[in-house]
Amino acid sequence: RPPRSTLFPYTTLFRSKTYILKEGEKVDFLVDLGVMTKEGAIVRTRYDKFRQINRFLEFIEDILPKLDKNRENVIIDFGCGKSYLTFAMYYYLHELKEYDIRIIGLDLKKDVIRHCNELSEKYGYEKLRFLEGDIADYTGVNKVDMVVTLHACDTATDYALAKAVGWDAKVILSVPCCQHELNRQIKNEILEPILKYGLLKERMAALITDGLRAQYLEREGYEAQILEFIDMEHTPKNLLIRALHRKKPSAKKREKASKEVNAFCEQFGFAPTLWKLLQEEGGVNNE
């Protein structure tokens, strides 16, 4: 038998992870959304969703210093869908951390919006409301503190990011999905031997898309990071762009950033939607 000291590192593998929302502690919205039983146990087939929710709340925990506890904070969740994470965000920020927040969930599906509003009323979440609408056309607020966009398809993410920049949102949390736009545009003679493989072309275009999004946000005064949202074994759409508003770079730095990114895009024939939207909205100057 090996000595105890050589066994010790392996025992850590079996320690249960400490989650923000804990197993065994009933949370009403998780019960209604089919993640928990009425006794607080995690439904076996929904454990991945439970882990995803807790992982998302870890990102929320990290950005708490950017929210003002002395006033109402407005949060927009574009493409909220069934709103597992929207409810989790409200529950964590309002119920557990006692922040004054107003969350607006936006989606195109009428039945989903209706169901989410019914649940919100059931729990007494007075400042959590869901609206039917398109990201590109939404004008319901003038000032937003945080923008969340999770799995908004293709350029819907770009519209959400452009809106966030226009509002000077302090925090942006975005998990992009289905990055088709640059996949259709990408052309490069040097890379052509690789680009003929559809899967590699798709993945390369997706990574470049999100890298450019982060660069554009940095040019607009954000500190941007690209982080792993959830393990690849659960979903290939596992990258999260986290952007925290700092201050506008100098005109010289903005011009330098524009030239570098534009030169890169010219090499591949890219015309990203986010860049066009920022120019149209006056968020950037075409320097």
Write down the pTM of the prediction: 0.87
Q: Please state the rounded mean pLDDT for residues 126-133.
A: 94
Mean pLDDT on 216-227: 95
Q: What is the pLDDT of residue 236?
A: 56
Q: Is the pLDDT of residue 155 over 70?
A: yes
210 neighbors 176 (Cβ within 8 angstroms):
yes
Per-residue confidence at 6, pLDDT binned at 50, 70, 90? very low
The overall average pLDDT reported for the chain is: 88
Distance CA 225, CA 241 (A): 6
Mean pLDDT of 101-107: 95
Write down the residue that tokens 């975005």 correspond to. Answer: 174
The whole-number pLDDT of residue 283 equals 47
Give the whole-angstrom CA distance, residue 156 versus residue 176. 9
Over residues 224-243, the pLDDT tens digits come to 999 998 754 445 567 999 99
* Structure-block tokens of residue 213: 């999004």
